[in-house]
Chain A
Amino acid sequence: MFQEILVHLGEGLLEAFQPLNMMMIFFGCLAGLFVGALPGLGSVNGVAILLPVTFLVPPTSAIIFLAALYYGAMYGGAISSITLGIPGASTAVATVFDGRPMAQKGLADQALMAAAIASFLGGTVSIVLFTLFAPPLAKFALAFGPPEEFSLMILAFATFVGLGGDDIPKTIFSILIGLLLATIGLDIISGRPRLIFFDIPGFLHGINFLVLAIGIYGIGEMLWTLETTQGKVQVENVKITWKRFVSNLKQVKEYIGGATLGSFLGFFVGTLPAAGATPASLMSYGLTKTFSKDPDSFGKGKPAGVAAPEAANNSASTGSMLPMITLGIPGSPTTAVLLGGMIIWGLRPGPLLFAEHPEFVWGLVGSMYIANFVTVVLNLALIPVFVKVLATPFTVLAPIIFTLCVVGGFAPTQDMHDVWLMLLFGVFGYLLRKLDYPVAPAVLAIVLGPLAESSLRQTLIAGQGSAAVFLERPIALTCFFFALMLVLYPVYQAFTRKGKKKAEAAEA
């Protein structure tokens, strides 16, 4: 079986090396970087918008282009997270936590490099896993029903217990308001609109994650920076020399552990339908922080805090192609659009695709190896360009960022309602932040909330109102167990530290 895989992979690589496909990979990665870096576009909209372009080439080249774009966009999200402090997509939220502080300290190049290398690692691990274990993993994904999804969401929530500030009521408030904002719009279980304030039709589509994230991180962050810098240049121009590049490269050993963990975690979470890259990146960040020797230094600009979520989101983006190709089920919103594309090209994703169109599947797999390589080279080469952004005077940079925010808030839904809402969230987020309300938990909760609510209610309906179903599900119980451990671990840590200090004090 192993030999067979190698033969197929060889054929796939040959397919990917054809000039047209190579060109597709290159332009896909470049377009992806660009689309990913613009807040509000992100991979979903990028893929959806460029889908019709691909009717002009054969299907294999088309999917290679879009997959490369997806791939590039995952990294592009990190660029805006680090240099501008605005996550381009939900998958890049966790990258802001440490990426932005690093940039403010003048270490943007280090952060960008950590992101590039971690992404490369995540990409490599996930493609190898994809090549070796696609069919059995697809079976595992099928075993994930609503109870398992709910337990996975609980696990994801548990990983970011430590992300809040010191003020516990304010942190809880932030999580709750994020969850509440997520409930606005249509309730699919009862089929009725929910919390439509003042009957404004714009609330019917709910509050997109991007509206809150761009509002808080884009507009709110800009107001905050304006206040602190008074419109001066915030970071001295960083001279990127070869020497600095090499010394940055040596930093790898600091974050390789977290990135490796993130790569494996990202792939497995990514393969589960409905989960996708966002929970994967959050869980990776949370776990790396919890189990690091120095959890308190996270959130203040630690390369490991950039590497862990970046490895996971790249890895998960490959992982989420697995259920799409083997089952015809999208693992993320972007793969949902890719799936639509495949159907339009006359390819039927599903259990038979591997057997009936090996040239397509293996061409795609081959292209992922190459795309991964192309992205890392492109990124490392472009770091000096991205860093320049930070040296721009603030009164020039700010209007450009506001422009991107407004356009990015409008483009996904084509509704000015969302842009106004974004401004409201921005100003409010700024005021709340001044009063020490942490904003990150709200942004994360709006992403995970809907998944958690609907999977819980699906489980309860299936159990006719009884939660006993969870007890019969070994996978769900395992997730709950780990979630409990994660919540208790920091408490245990605090106790042992206190114990140690006491012991030390007694000795002295």
Chain B
Amino acid sequence: MTTKTAELSMAIFLLLASIALMFKSAELNIGWIPGRGPGAGMWPFYLALGMALTCLATIFRWYRRTTPQSRNEDPFLSPETFPIVAITTVALIGLLVGIHIIGIYFSLALFIVFYVGYVGRHSWGLTAALAIGTPVFIFCLFEWALTTTLPKGLEMFEPLYYPIYDLIY
């Protein structure tokens, strides 16, 4: 995809999203309630309308080739940079899915092993130190010093932490 098509696709996507938001706002009262002023949906409705209009303006400017992007025939995501961005995004999605299943501490360790060791090609010593050190630090800071819990994943993993609780509380 070239930058030129990317700009048009994004503007069309945002236009459709704005129209959807207008419908969503219209589920509430978008009119003026006599004696009280605007209804709950009025503000978001007109904001969405404004968004739709700015998207139309962008599409028009694209057609007239006013924006620099609309004249740019280079690929939107260049082959050299796309892999690292894609790998990072996928790794992040993996991290979040992992948090739901095996909890934040184990997911973080895996994420760091992947990112520092595999993507970054750093030494195994550094990778291991970070993979163990980061979750331990986060645990000590949040669960111990600040007594805020972070997600532990599925219920079956919870008992793993009981001995640590015995130790710190």
Contact = CB atoms under 8 A, between A and B. Distances in A.
A–B: direct contact at CB < 8 Å? yes
Interface of A: 49-50, 167, 169-170, 172-173, 176-177, 179-180, 183, 187, 189-190, 192, 194-195, 197, 219, 222-223, 226-228, 230-231, 393, 395-396, 398-400, 402-403, 406-407, 410-411, 414, 416, 419-420, 423, 427, 430-432, 434-436, 453, 456-457, 460-461, 464-465
Contact of A395 (B57, B89, B122): B122
Given A180-B21, A230-B80, A411-B142, A402 B95 contact: yes
Contacts of A457: 37-38
B10 A177 contact: no
A209 B111 CA distance: 26
A167 to B, nearest CB: 6
Interface residues of B, number: 68
B88 A398 contact: yes
Nearest to B47: A180
Contacts of B93: 423
Most buried by B among A197, A406, A464: A406
Contacts of A177: 51
B2 interface: no
A43 B24 CA distance: 35
18 contacts: A49-B146, A50-B146, A173-B54, A176-B47, A176-B50, A183-B44, A194-B28, A194-B44, A195-B21, A222-B88, A226-B84, A230-B81, A393-B120, A393-B122, A395-B120, A396-B116, A402-B95, A465-B36
A395 B50 contact: no
Contacts of A400: 130, 134
Contacts of A399: 111-112, 115-116, 130, 134
A177 B49 CA distance: 11
* A-side interface mostly: helix
Nearest to A395: B120
B126 A416 contact: no
A228 B39 CA distance: 46
A502 to B, nearest CB: 25
A223 B68 CA distance: 22
* B-side interface mostly: helix
Contacts, number: 162
Given A403-B138, A423-B96, 4 more contacts: A50-B146, A407-B138, A414-B148, A436-B67
Contacts of B36: 460-461, 464-465
B71 interface: no
B84 A396 contact: no
B38 A227 contact: no
Contacts of B124: none
A203 to B, nearest CB: 11
Contacts of B148: 49, 411, 414
B47 A410 contact: no
Contacts of B159: none
Interface of B: 3, 6-7, 10, 14, 21, 24-25, 28-29, 32-41, 43-44, 47-48, 50-51, 54-55, 57-58, 61, 67-69, 76, 80-81, 84-85, 88-89, 92-93, 95-96, 99-100, 104, 108, 111-112, 115-116, 119-122, 126, 130, 134, 138, 142, 146-151
A173 B95 contact: no
Given A223-B85, A393-B122, A460 B54 contact: no
Nearest to A170: B58
A176 to B, nearest CB: 5
A49 B147 contact: yes
A187 B43 CA distance: 11
Given A190-B39, A431-B10, A406 B24 contact: no
Contacts of A230: 80-81, 84
A427 B91 CA distance: 13
A180 B22 CA distance: 11
A465 B37 contact: yes
A183 B22 CA distance: 13
Contact of B40 (A192, A410, A435): A192
A423 B146 CA distance: 25
A214 B34 CA distance: 40
A169 B142 contact: no
Contacts of A456: 37
Most buried by B among A230, A399, A402, A410: A399
A102 to B, nearest CB: 25
A50 B148 CA distance: 11
A447 B29 CA distance: 24
Contacts of B47: 176, 179-180, 183
A478 B50 CA distance: 28
Nearest to A415: B151
B147 A416 contact: no
A169 B54 contact: yes
A404 to B, nearest CB: 9
B100 A416 contact: yes
A393 B14 CA distance: 36
Contacts of B14: 173
B115 A180 contact: no
A159 to B, nearest CB: 21
B130 A396 contact: yes
Given A410-B150, A411-B148, A464 B35 contact: yes
Contacts of B89: 223, 427
Nearest to B57: A169
B58 A169 contact: yes
A407 B111 CA distance: 14
Contact of A176 (B51, B68, B146): B51
Given A226-B84, A407-B104, A398 B115 contact: yes
Given A194-B44, A411-B142, A419 B96 contact: yes
Given A230-B80, A406-B104, A460-B36, A223 B88 contact: yes
